[in-house]
Amino acid sequence: METTQAENTPKRKRKAPSKAWQPGQSGNPKGRPIGARNRATLLAAAMLDSEVEAITKAVIDAAKSGDMTAARICLERLVPPMRERPIRANIPSATTAPQCTTAQAAILSAVVSGELMPGEGQALSAMVENQRRAIETTELEQRIAALESRQA
């Protein structure tokens, strides 16, 4: 098998590209402008703009004929997702461990009576539990410090 001259010629070493900026320095310090949209997104939006009515009608028709995915899409657009709301409930403050127990009982009572939704009660209960743990941790630290000072 014969070799060509190109195969016998040693490969030339490539020169390292010159650095226009220092390592760690951005080549585009201003960055992408805020709110700038990707070209593909702009193209897709332009294509959809002309067909929005037809697509919407097709999805609604599919939902009417029993397509559950189309129905879900329609409902997601019509009914916005629930957002958190401030919780108003008569729950005692909890600055000691026994008060945390009282607060937990008040939360349970509010959920049972329908004053709070179960998810809201669960969130409040978790907060009270975190408060109880913080109180117990502080009390344990104080006890340990007292024991250590007696031994010294």
Query: Where along the chain do its domains lie?
Result: 39-78, 97-151
| Residue 50 DSSP label | T
pTM to 2 decimal places: 0.47
Our CA angle for 139, 130, 135, nearest 5°, is 15
Mean pLDDT lowest among 48-52, 61-65, 114-118? 48-52
CA-closest candidate to residue 59, choices 50, 68, 49: 68
**For residue range 10-26, what is the model confidence (pLDDT) as tens digits?**
566 556 666 666 777 77
Percentage above 90 pLDDT, the chain? 43
Task: Considering only the C-alpha atoms of the chain, give the largest distance between any 2 of them, rounded to a whole number of Å.
Answer: 93
* Dist CA 124 CA 109 (whole Å): 12
Contact present, 139 and 100 (Cβ < 8 Å): no
Average pLDDT, the chain: 84
* Dist CA 104 CA 124 (whole Å): 8
Question: What band does 3 get if pLDDT is binned at 50, 70 and 90?
Answer: low
